[in-house]
């Protein structure tokens, strides 16, 4: 699916109300044009409420939900490809696995250790990565780098670092500098995902850092980025229907 389709469906599923209606801001031209396309395809219809839309049938809602939470990223050769991949990789993590994990640091309010977050992110990311690419952990030596990168997406030259609670943030950012430990690794885009408890939100936002602020039950993660509005993601890896089943 394209980035526009992913963004539209995410907006629709997260914004649906008790009457199965979601709204579209007519000022958002891209979202509005995508809504028109879905309407022409017979997938959504206008609701009685002005500016509101509904899926044409419950089965359509289920099928499109499956596409949203199971499809891989489609490459559009735009900067949105990498961002959309990262959103999906976080969104598809499993909240129950994180909640029940024994991989915790008992000295820091029972926060999860970094390896658990890396493992869960990798599993989720493999469901979203574009076809023809692969995720490689601990890349460095083959390029003569002085350090090991957490994850490298081969074929796209995307780099992802995983950290927790802001530990050694400055050092990790420095690794991507021109003279840093990762400088020999060819990369087109890079980002650091900093998983933090919601109570430890950063006071300053660094560029290329995705602050993933998780709730106590790990069911939601708020993504905070420099120059972007906060985005609340519902973790769907335990089963994409769970947040959206009709009551």
Q: What is the 3-state secondary structure (H, E, C) of 65-100?
A: HHHHHHCCCCCCCCCHHHHHHHHHHHHCCCHHHHHH
Distance of CA 233 to CAs 67, 74, 88, 102, 224, Å? Answer: 16, 20, 9, 24, 11
Please check whether residue 199 is in contact with residue 213, taking contact to mean a CB–CB distance below 8 angstroms.
no
**Beta-bridge partner residues of 136:** 152
Q: What pLDDT score does 108 carry?
A: 62
CA distance 134 to 1: 18
CA distance 32 to 138: 42
Name 36's Cβ contacts closer than 8 Å, sequence gap at least 6: none
Interval 6-23 mean pLDDT: 87
Q: What pLDDT score does 244 carry?
A: 39
Q: How close are the terminal C-alpha atoms of the chain, in Å?
A: 28
Give me the long-range contacts of 104-111 (CB less than 8 A, separation at least 24). Answer: 108/165, 109/197, 111/164, 111/165, 111/197
Q: What are phi and psi of 36, to 5 degrees?
A: -60, -40
Q: What pLDDT score does 245 carry?
A: 39
**3 state DSSP class of 227:** coil
Question: 3-70, what's its fold?
Answer: Arc Repressor Mutant, subunit A (1.10.10)
CA distance 180 to 164: 21
Q: What is the pLDDT of residues 72-95, one digit of tens each?
A: 777 665 667 899 999 999 999 999
pTM: 0.80
pLDDT above 90 covers a percentage of the chain that reads 47
Nearest C-alpha neighbor of 109 from the set 223, 235, 200, 234: 200
Q: What is the pLDDT of residues 156-195, one digit of tens each?
A: 999 999 999 988 888 889 988 878 888 888 989 999 999 9
- The mean predicted confidence, pLDDT, of the chain is 87
Q: Is the pLDDT of residue 115 over 60?
A: yes
Helix boundaries (H) for the chain: 3-15, 29-40, 58-70, 80-91, 95-100, 114-125, 169-174
Phi/psi region, residue 102 (left: phi>0; alpha: psi -120 to 50; beta: rest), is: alpha
Q: Is the pLDDT of residue 240 over 70?
A: no
Domain residue ranges of the chain, discontinuous segments joined by +: 3-70, 80-234
């Amino acid at each position: 699916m394209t980035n526009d389709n992913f963004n539209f469906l995410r907006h629709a599923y997260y914004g649906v109300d008790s009457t199965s209606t979601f709204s579209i801001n007519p000022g958002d031209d891209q979202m509005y044009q995508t809504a028109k396309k879905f309407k022409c395809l017979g997938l959504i219809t206008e609701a009685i409420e002005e500016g509101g839309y509904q899926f044409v049938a419950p089965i359509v809602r289920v099928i499109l939900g499956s596409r949203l939470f199971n499809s891989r990223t489609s490459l559009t050769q735009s900067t949105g490809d990498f961002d959309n991949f990262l959103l999906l990789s976080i969104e598809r993590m499993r909240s129950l696995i994180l909640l029940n994990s024994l991989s915790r640091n008992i000295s820091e309010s029972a926060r999860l250790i970094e390896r658990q977050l890396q493992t869960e992110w990798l599993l989720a990311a493999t469901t979203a990565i574009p076809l023809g690419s692969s995720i490689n952990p601990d890349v460095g030596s083959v390029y003569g780098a002085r350090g090991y990168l957490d994850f490298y997406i081969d074929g796209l030259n995307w780099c992802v670092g995983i950290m927790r609670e802001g530990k050694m943030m400055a050092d990790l950012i420095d690794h991507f500098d021109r003279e840093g430990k990762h400088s020999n690794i060819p990369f087109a885009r890079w980002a650091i995902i900093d998983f933090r408890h919601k109570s430890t939100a950063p006071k300053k936002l660094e560029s290329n850092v995705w602050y993933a602020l998780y709730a106590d039950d790990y069911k939601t993660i708020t993504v905070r980025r420099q120059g972007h509005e906060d985005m609340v993601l519902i973790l769907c890896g335990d089963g994409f229907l769970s947040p959206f089943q009709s009551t």
